[in-house]
Amino acid sequence: MLFLFLGDPKTTRLNIISFQKKYAEQNIIVRNEIESISEFLKKSAGASLFGGASLLLIETKKNDAELKEEITLKELSQFGKDSDIAITITENLPKTHPLRKLISEEGKLIEAAEVPKSVFPFLDALSSKNPGRVFSELEKLLNDGNEPVFVNLMVAYALRNLVRVKFGAVAGINPYVVKKTKARVDGFSEEKLKALFLKVKENDKAFKSGENEKRLLQTLVYAFIN
């Protein structure tokens, strides 16, 4: 089957990471950017015959000329009957684009909105190291149906802001966020930031192996605020 992930970059990547959890890591094949979509499909098509890849991942851009070529669309349709193929475009795609038409007829569209505002109280409590509030906000996010992998990546988002402000790389960050972060960044040493990034990465791997996701998040939050 064909799957098309579109829209806001952060949320689209979160969606595709969450989607991949349904497949064993060894059963996923990712297209190398230097090969065409057509080459990738032909190379990977037979893998599932021997218990190999059950998901083919293609990340591309809306101006990729191949996506408008009839032969490529036919190949996606053909190979999508035997394998799951996920196409990721971290932009909006015009309603008239040929790929949208193919997906509407033979696949599933997962279109991402921007990161919900409901996550910001959690991030604010996290960065300010407010223990009473942060665990309450974490519980709200999980109870509202947010995937643990999403919350984990939001922690990474908070860490990236701290690192960028700490080392002066603030271009593109909202000035209000920069001001608030500057008041908090001294509470995070370079060693602590590295350790927290490592913990986020470890959580990603642990989620795939079925470990207790809520407990892992609570442990990460505890490490963040202490």
Q: Is 7 left (phi over 0), alpha (psi -120 to 50) or beta?
A: left
Chain segment 162-202, per-residue pLDDT in tens: 998 988 887 777 788 888 889 888 889 999 999 999 998 89
Strands 55-59 and 2-7: unpaired
For 117-225, the fitting CATH number among 3.40.50.2030, 1.10.8.50, 3.40.640.10, 1.20.272.10 is 1.20.272.10
- Taking the C-alpha atoms of residue 74 and residue 89, their distance in angstroms, rounded to an integer, is 19
One-letter amino acid at 42 equals: K
Instruction: Specify which residues 58 forms β-bridges with.
Output: 87
**Selection from 187, 124, 196 nearest residue 160 by Cα:** 196
184's tokens: 């908090």
Split at pLDDT 50, 70, 90, the class of 160 is confident
For residue 115, the model assigns a pLDDT of: 63
Question: How many other β-carbons are positioned within 10 Å of the β-carbon of residue 176?
Answer: 8
For 2-112, the fitting CATH number among 3.90.850.10, 3.40.50.300, 3.40.50.620, 3.40.190.10 is 3.40.50.300
- Taking the C-alpha atoms of residue 173 and residue 178, their distance in angstroms, rounded to an integer, is 7
Average pLDDT over residues 120-148: 91
pTM: 0.57
Q: Looking at 1-15, 43-57, 89-103, 195-209, which range is the least confident one? A: 43-57
146's tokens: 């947010």
Question: How many other β-carbons are positioned within 10 Å of the β-carbon of residue 173?
Answer: 14
- Taking the C-alpha atoms of residue 137 and residue 119, their distance in angstroms, rounded to an integer, is 8
Chain segment 211-226, per-residue pLDDT in tens: 778 899 999 999 999 8
Can you give the residue ranges of every domain in the chain?
2-112, 117-225
Split at pLDDT 50, 70, 90, the class of 52 is low
